[in-house]
């Protein structure tokens, strides 16, 4: 979607959105490629024994047509919500494509959700269908009676527990299906917010949401696609990051994606897999990047073929940026967005749009500003809320069944993000923190990101989070929750050393006056630190 211009400001000035009057994600990411070349590889599906199966666009087209027929036969139609509860695999892609071509609404659900989290989302969305495996069927069995709208359950592991077998249902259908005619604003998917503040809300997106992601995707991956590109992400495809920052944009470009189910994130296995499959492009959230940093650098041990690494979800930090250049031999491009309006800020090393401590600049096609409570733009260097102006193709249609929450999301034509930031005179945006994560201490407003970035530079620290703890004198003090590297036992002396380390590198008002050592940090399914959970025990 980006024109062949290698000057960022000229790129922004010349960009125009080519949004067609009729558009369907399923047709775009599958059928048009299957028509051109049905043998073109779409997925490299990695099995539990590390065997790799290539799945073609033609195979996905035929399978998705059969699934669309099977869903329609079971009463699923235009606008109905169909949930997908599966790890990365071929069936996830088939399900998404089928649902879009049917005119229904895909509801991706993370496999890490517990029964209460799943039941809440299925109930709130009024999901009529569910595509899952035996583990998902079993997990939902205790609450199935509380989901009266859920009429259709298809299981990849065969029939049982109130589910029909997916393969049998598809085999009974024709591989010929005429996609429903949809426009860019017709509902296509509903992705629930991560719930960092309050109950998760279903963000409803139109088919145009994929087109809205393309400029930012192409930017952080250095003018993707290039010959030989191969995408992989450890992010669950149920998350907007995994689905729309990696999977669907790659398929839109007709480029293959690695599907790899992992029980847990193992840095050594990740490096080995990327080297073996010659992964060229990857989207890795900051939490996973910090885990990669915890092992020896791959140089001399793994023959990586990486061309681009992108990251989003939380601020990357200057330390991780420096590690990427040294250990991976490239600049990790950072991006910013949220479930409601994703990939609107980005960096791009090729264009020289990168500045340590900054997310980057507004992506071509998106208007982003730092605004005050009155909706007016802040002066350069002034802290305010990161906001995106509507209309914007990547922006959500509404919060499902929450008209008041939808209205409250906007100040005039600015969609507020709930994230504090600062924009400098050159247009670079520095992320400060969530509105409720900002710490007020002795009259200072302190963002946790800079403190956390400093904390992980300490040689004993592998991960950390900073929150405000109520204090009668200072309003709040900074408290750090620290995960230590193996071989570094916790002690009062180490806590004091960490405090001194931060104080010397930041300032006297930003260093953590309390340090708590923990085994793990509470994370959302998207890998973001749940700081409110830490504030509750601070």
- Give 58-114 as a DSSP string: HHHHHHHHHHHHHHHHTT--TT-EEEEE--SSHHHHHHHHHHHHHT-EEEE--TT--
Tokens of 414: 């600015």
List the domain boundaries for the chain: 21-206, 436-537
What is the pTM (predicted TM-score) of this model?
0.86
- For 331, other C-beta atoms within 10 Å of its C-beta total 18
Angstrom CA distances, 193 to 129, 198, 200, 243, 359, stand at: 20, 10, 5, 14, 21
Per-residue pLDDT of the chain (538 residues; tens, 9 = 90+): 999 899 999 999 999 999 999 999 999 999 999 999 999 999 999 998 999 999 999 999 999 999 999 999 999 999 999 999 999 999 999 999 999 999 999 999 988 888 888 998 999 999 999 999 999 999 999 999 999 999 999 999 999 999 999 999 999 999 999 999 999 999 999 999 865 455 789 999 999 999 999 999 999 999 999 999 999 999 999 999 999 999 999 999 999 999 999 888 899 999 999 999 999 999 998 878 988 998 999 988 999 999 999 999 777 778 889 999 999 999 999 999 999 999 999 999 999 999 988 999 999 999 999 999 999 999 999 999 999 999 999 999 999 999 999 999 999 999 999 889 999 999 999 988 777 787 878 656 677 877 888 899 899 999 999 999 998 877 789 999 999 999 999 999 999 999 999 988 877 778 999 999 999 999 876 677 888 899 989 8
pLDDT, position 527: 72
CA 156 → CA 42, 65, 81, 136, 259, distances in Å?
20, 16, 19, 10, 16
Specify the pLDDT at position 198.
57
What are phi and psi for residue 489, nearest 5 degrees?
Answer: -70, 145
Residue 8's φ and ψ, nearest 5 degrees, are -65, -45
- At the top level of CATH, the class of 436-537 is alpha beta
**CA dist., res. 400 & res. 421, Å (int):** 28
Element (H, E) at 384: strand 383-389
pLDDT at 170: 98
pLDDT at residue 483, as a whole number: 96
Distance CA 481, CA 485 (A): 13
* pLDDT at residue 453 in the model: 83
Return the CA Rg of the chain. 23
Sign, Cα dihedral of 513, 518, 522, 528: positive
Adjacent-strand bridge partners of 336: 345
Which pLDDT score is estimated for 449? 79
Peptide bond into 391 cis (omega under 30): yes
Task: Give the pairing of strands 281-283 and 231-232.
Answer: parallel
Six-digit token pair at 272? 């080995």
Q: The sheet that has 514-517: what strands, in order across it?
A: 461-471, 475-484, 514-517
Query: Prior bond to 225 cis, omega within 30?
Result: yes
Is the separation of the CB atoms in 125 and 398 below 8 Å?
A: no
Distance of CA 205 to the CA centre of its chain: 15
**Separation between Cα atoms, residue 41 and residue 31, nearest integer Å:** 13
Query: How much is the pLDDT for 445?
Result: 63
Highest CATH level, class, for 21-206: alpha beta
Give the pLDDT score at 9.
Answer: 96
Half-sphere exposure of 1 (CA within 13 A, CB side): 24
Under 8 Å between Cβ of 259 and 60 = no
């Amino acid at each position: 979607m980006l024109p062949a211009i290698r000057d960022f400001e000229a790129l922004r000035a010349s960009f125009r959105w080519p949004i067609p009057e009729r558009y369907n994600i399923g047709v775009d990411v599958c059928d048009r490629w299957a028509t051109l070349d049905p043998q073109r590889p779409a997925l490299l599906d990695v099995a539990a024994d590390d065997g790799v199966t290539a799945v073609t666009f033609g195979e996905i087209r035929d399978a998705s047509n059969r699934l669309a027929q099977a869903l329609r036969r079971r009463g699923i139609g235009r606008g109905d919500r169909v949930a997908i509860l599966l790890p990365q695999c071929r069936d996830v892609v088939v399900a998404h494509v089928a649902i879009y071509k049917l005119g229904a609404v895909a509801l991706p659900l993370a496999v890490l959700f517990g029964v209460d989290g799943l039941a809440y989302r299925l109930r709130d969305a009024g999901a009529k269908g569910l595509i899952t495996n035996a583990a998902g069927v079993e997990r939902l069995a205790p609450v199935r009676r509380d989901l009266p709208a859920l009429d259709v359950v298809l299981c990849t592991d065969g029939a049982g527990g109130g589910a029909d077998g997916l393969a049998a249902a598809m085999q009974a259908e024709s591989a010929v299906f005429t996609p429903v005619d949809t426009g860019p604003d017709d509902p296509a998917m509903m992705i629930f917010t991560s719930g960092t503040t309050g109950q998760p809300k279903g963000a409803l997106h139109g088919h145009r949401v994929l087109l809205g992601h393309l400029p930012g995707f192409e930017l952080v991956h250095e003018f993707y696609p290039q010959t030989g590109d191969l995408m992989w992400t450890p992010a669950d495809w149920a998350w907007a990051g995994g689905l729309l920052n990696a999977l669907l944009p790659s398929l839109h470009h007709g480029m293959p994606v690695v599907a790899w189910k992992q029980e847990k994130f193992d840095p050594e296995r990740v490096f080995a897999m990327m080297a073996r499959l010659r992964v060229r492009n990857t989207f890795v959230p900051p939490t996973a990047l910090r885990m990669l940093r915890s092992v020896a650098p791959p140089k001399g041990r793994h023959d990586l073929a990486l061309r681009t690494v992108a990251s989003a979800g939380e601020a990357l930090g200057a330390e991780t940026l420096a590690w990427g250049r040294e250990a991976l031999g490239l600049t990790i491009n950072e991006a910013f967005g949220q479930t409601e309006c994703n990939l609107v800020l980005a960096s791009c090393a090729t264009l020289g749009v990168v500045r340590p401590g900054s997310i980057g600049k507004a992506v071509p096609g998106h208007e982003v500003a730092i605004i005050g409570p009155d909706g007016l733009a802040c002066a350069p260097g002034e802290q305010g809320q990161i906001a995106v102006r509507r209309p914007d193709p990547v922006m959500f249609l509404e919060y499902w069944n929450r008209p008041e929450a939808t209205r409250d999301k906007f100040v005039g034509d600015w969609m507020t993000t709930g994230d504090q930031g600062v924009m400098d005179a050159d247009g670079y945006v520095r992320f400060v923190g969530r509105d409720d994560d900002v710490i007020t201490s002795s009259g200072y407003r302190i963002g946790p990101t800079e403190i956390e970035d400093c904390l992980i530079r300490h040689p004993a620290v592998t991960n950390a989070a900073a929150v405000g703890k109520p204090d009668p004198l200072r309003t709040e003090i900074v408290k750090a929750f620290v995960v230590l590297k193996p071989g570094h036992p916790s002690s009062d002396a180490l806590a004091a050393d960490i405090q001194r380390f931060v104080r010397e590198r930041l300032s006297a008002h930003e260093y953590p006056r309390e340090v708590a050592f923990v085994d793990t940090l509470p994370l959302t399914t998207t890998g973001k630190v749940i700081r409110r959970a830490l504030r509750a025990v601070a």
